[in-house]
Amino acid sequence: MLNPDQKLNPNLFDLAVEQRTTREGFGEALVELAEKDSRIVALSADLRDSTRLDLFAKRFPERLFEVGVAEQNLAGVASGLAAMGKIPFLATYAVFSPGRNWEQIRTTICYNNVPVKLVGAHSGLETGPDGGSHEALEDIALTRVLPRMTVVVVADYEEAKKATHVLASLSGPTYLRLVRDKVPMLTSPESPFILGQANILWRGENPVVTIVACGSLVYHSLLVAKKLAKEGINVLVVNNHTIKPLDTKTIGDLARETGAVVTVEDHQQAGGLGGAVAEFLVQHQAVPMELVGVKDCFGQTGTPAELIEHYDLGVEAIMTAVKKVLERKNN
Amino acid sequence: MLPKNKIDFLMTQAKAIRLSIIEMLVNAHSGHTAGPLGLADIYAWLYFEVLKHDPKNPTWSERDRLIISNGHTAPVLYAALAQAGYFPTSELKTLRRFGSRLQGHPHREWLPGLETSSGPLGSGLAQAIGMVLADRLDTDRTSSRYFYAILSDGELDCGATWEAVMMAGKEKLHNLIVIIDRNHIQIGGDTEVVMPLEPLADKWRAFNWQVFETDGHDFSSLAEALDQAKGNFIQPAVIIAQTIPGKGVAEFEGKFEWHGKAPSPVEGAKAIDEIKHHA
């Protein structure tokens, strides 16, 4: 059942659950931050409306720098601003940043060790109708391997808001992953958000599998937990918003408790959340594991729901993965 | 025009920088020779005439900023920094050694006096622009600081360089001054063979920059260009400094083969002798 300590949205399982975008959460939080701290500046690469940097641009036009369609320059200019004591947020689509400008992020931001805040909107299959060229399925992998980088994937609007505030306060480079579409409001303003601390959203009695999810598929994982409970299979659902630094304490403890783990993400199976969890568990608490993610291919045009279904990331696919890992655990 | 005693002083500094470069490279058994020798005069001019800085207080906030985009020319930077007093010249012989603060390409966190960590080409100008934009916000356009960026000509192949060139023109960053080490070589050959850059001055003008073409070994013409650049309050400035790669050692001069290799001890001894007696 839902963990009461998490103060989740009580209407979470309603069909008519309220939905909002994570981009809005980010855009609103950035304005809140900038009102209190003059060091906050923002950079746009000609996508200010769809990243919701427009909210910041309207309120603080002097502190918004437009670089045009030039993501390499975006990273370098942000690095220079940070070197002079600013806290720059740069937001664009994830395929372009950290995609196109990865080397500039590596050298001028991470190697140079300056507090630039990257925001990748339009990540994952949920980019939908724009098609495979724009569906960033590799961005967690690209950022996670960079020394000094903190990587956060948010599950809903409220979490995006909280994450934006927390990431601004860190002294190093960070990556915040957002999606294009509206997603169900799972959490409430009162829900806890502590960087590097995974949240247990659902705990069945004597759980037999731990589902570790991130991003908008946390919602699907909760739907799975509810369905499986009716079949007599009790699981844990963890919202692992911080990919790096990974909450190894919680994940290790829960892997030990349940003896099996399923990871769930709208990203390539390779290099993302599943990769991070597997790298840790295989060295410290090896248990059977299944990775729900995109299987080494590109996306295509469709609605987010169609794509999540087609690429085996949805409720059915997660249920299958849970049953499969259980079978492996019991053999 | 700079007074003669000033020119003599700068020539002495440049000569000492060249000697250090050869000694460092011979010791390190690897590194870049041509670019650093060709830049020795410009570095002497910057560190001993132009820059507002304090080697005893490298983080002084009112200092001018010098951003090195062509990190592979690190030996000339290190030699100039040591000579200016940022660290002991005896440390120069540790270049490229394990544990040395003198990393193969400059790392900001390892050595005082560095504004950025660099190496991969084409990123320095963007970083300089970010710094100038921050400066403009902080000073409400009344800044007394200048931001200098040194670029190689080879890195003008990078699209990222031109993204930055375009943006500096758009933002009218008048206290940004770029110096291009126009030595006409890059690692694989002549710049005009690998990827033609000319007409280079016209390209920068087209992006709304003020352009100066100078001899990069002539302190007076460099100073004259800089004076004019500082008198312009609506455009960034670029000084295209014509330099001779390997300058000061006849055997190295003008040869792209010396872009990325270090002299042997025998070649180094000959070079030192030549610099001491002729350059």
Contacts of B133 in chain A (CB under 8 A): 65, 77, 80-81
Residue A31 falls inside a structural domain: yes
Final residue of a structural domain among A125, A151, A184 = A184
- Least Cα separation, residue A236 to chain B (angstroms): 44
Residue B119 · residue B112 · CB < 8 Å:
no
Tokens 């003020």, residue located: B210
Domain count, chain A: 2
Tokens of B201: 């001055």
**A43 and A170 both lie in a single domain:** yes
A125: domain CATH number? 3.40.50.970
Residue B29 backbone class (left: φ over 0; alpha: ψ -120 to 50; beta: rest): left
Put simply, the answer to whether B108 touches A113 (Cβ < 8 Å) is: yes
* Three-state SS at A192: coil
Look at residue B142 in the predicted model and tell me its pLDDT: 84
| Tally of CB atoms within 10 A around A60 | 17
Q: How many angstroms away from the CA of A197 is the closest CA of chain B?
A: 30
Count other C-beta atoms under 10 Å from residue B170's C-beta. Answer: 13
Q: Note down the domain range covering A248.
A: 4-8+192-330
Q: Which residues of B touch A108 (CB under 8 A)?
A: 116-117, 123, 126-127
Please tell me the distance from the alpha carbon of residue A192 to that of residue A198, in angstroms, as a whole number. Answer: 10
DSSP state of B3: -
Residue A229 has a pLDDT of 97
Q: Cα torsion at B91, B93, B96, B100 (round to 10°)?
A: -30
Which pLDDT value is given to residue B278?
74
End-to-end Cα spacing for chain A: 27
* Chain B neighbors of A80, CB-CB under 8 A: 67, 126-134
Under an 8 A CB cutoff, do B131 and A83 touch? yes
Scan residues 11-70 of A and list those with Cβ closer than 8 Å to B: 41, 62-63, 65, 67-68, 70
The CATH number for B122's domain is 3.40.50.970
Q: Nearest-CA distance from A246 to chain B in Å?
A: 26
Nearest-10 crossing angle of helices B124-139, B159-171: 20
CATH number of the domain at A266, please. 3.40.50.920
Residue of A nearest to B69 (CA): A108
Asked if A138 and A154 sit in the same domain, the reply is yes
What integer is the mean pLDDT of B50-57? Answer: 98
A13 within domain boundaries:
no
Enter the tokens of residue A213.
């999810």
> Which strand ranges, in their side-by-side order, compose the sheet holding A117-121?
A64-66, A40-44, A87-93, A117-121, A174-177, A150-153, A242-244
Q: Which domain holds residue B179?
A: 4-277
Interface test with B, best of A73, A104, A113 (most B CBs within 10 A): A73
Given a cut of 60, whether residue B279 has pLDDT beyond it is no
Domain count along chain B: 1
**φ, ψ of residue B215 in degrees (nearest 5):** -85, 120
Phi, psi for B219 (deg, rounded to 5)? -60, -35
The domain boundary residue, chosen from A153, A184, A215: A184
Q: Does A122 touch chain B (CB under 8 A)?
A: no
Q: Determine contact: B167 vs chain A, CB below 8 A.
A: yes
How far is it, in rounded angstroms, from Cα B133 to Cα B51? 20
pLDDT digits (tens, 9 = 90+) for B228-260: 999 999 999 999 999 999 999 999 999 999 999
Q: Is the domain of A144 the same as that of A229?
A: no
Does the beta-carbon distance from B163 to A67 stay under 8 Å?
A: yes
What pLDDT score was predicted for residue A238? 98
**Are A122 and A232 part of one and the same domain?**
no
Nearest to B276 by CA among B14, B10, B74: B14
Residue A80: which of B127, B137, B166 has the nearest Cβ? B127
Q: Are B141 and A90 spatial neighbours (Cβ–Cβ below 8 Å)?
A: no
**Domain match, A131 and A254 both:** no
Is A75 at the interface with chain B, CB within 8 A? yes
**Same-domain status, A174 and A25:** yes
Half-sphere exposure of A50 (CA within 13 A, CB side): 15
Residue A86 in contact with partner chain B when CB distance is under 8 A: yes
**pLDDT confidence of B140, banded at 50, 70, 90?**
confident
**Ordered per-residue pLDDT tens for chain A, 331 residues:** 999 999 999 999 999 999 999 999 999 999 999 999 999 999 999 999 999 999 999 999 999 999 999 999 999 999 999 999 999 999 999 999 999 999 999 999 999 999 999 999 999 999 999 999 999 999 999 999 999 999 999 999 999 999 999 999 999 999 999 999 999 999 999 999 999 999 999 999 999 999 999 999 999 999 999 999 999 999 999 999 999 999 999 999 999 999 999 999 999 999 999 999 999 999 999 999 999 999 999 999 999 999 999 999 999 999 999 999 999 999 8
Contacts of B117 in chain A (CB under 8 A): 107-108, 111-113
Instruction: Inform me whether the C-beta atom of residue B155 falls under 8 Å from chain A C-beta atoms.
Output: no
With H, G, I as helix, E, B as strand and everything else as coil, classify residue B159. helix
- Rounded to two decimals, the pTM is 0.97
Contact B120 A103 (CB under 8 A): yes
**Within a domain: residue A210?**
yes
CA–CA dist A62, B140 (Å, integer): 10
First to last CA, chain B: 21
Strands B185-186 and B189-190: antiparallel
pLDDT, tens digit (0-9, with 9 covering 90-100), for B152-187: 999 999 999 999 999 999 999 999 999 999 999 999
Using DSSP bridges, classify how beta strands A117-121 and A64-66 pair: parallel, antiparallel or unpaired.
Answer: unpaired
B62 CB near a chain A CB, below 8 Å? no
Residue in B21, B109, B17, B113 with CA at minimum distance from that of residue B72:
B21
* Beta bridge pairs of residue B181: B152, B241
Q: Return mean pLDDT, chain B.
A: 96
Domain stop point among A149, A184, A219: A184
Q: Are the beta carbons of A76 and B127 separated by less than 8 Å?
A: yes
Domain contains A14: no
Check residue B122 and give its pLDDT. Answer: 97
Q: Is A111 on the interface with B (CB under 8 A)?
A: yes
Task: Say if A120 falls within a structural domain.
Answer: yes
pLDDT of residue B1: 78
CB contact under 8 A, A72 and B166: no
Give dist(CA B129, CA B120) in Å, integer: 17
Which positions ≥6 away from A85 have C-beta within 8 Å?
A39, B134
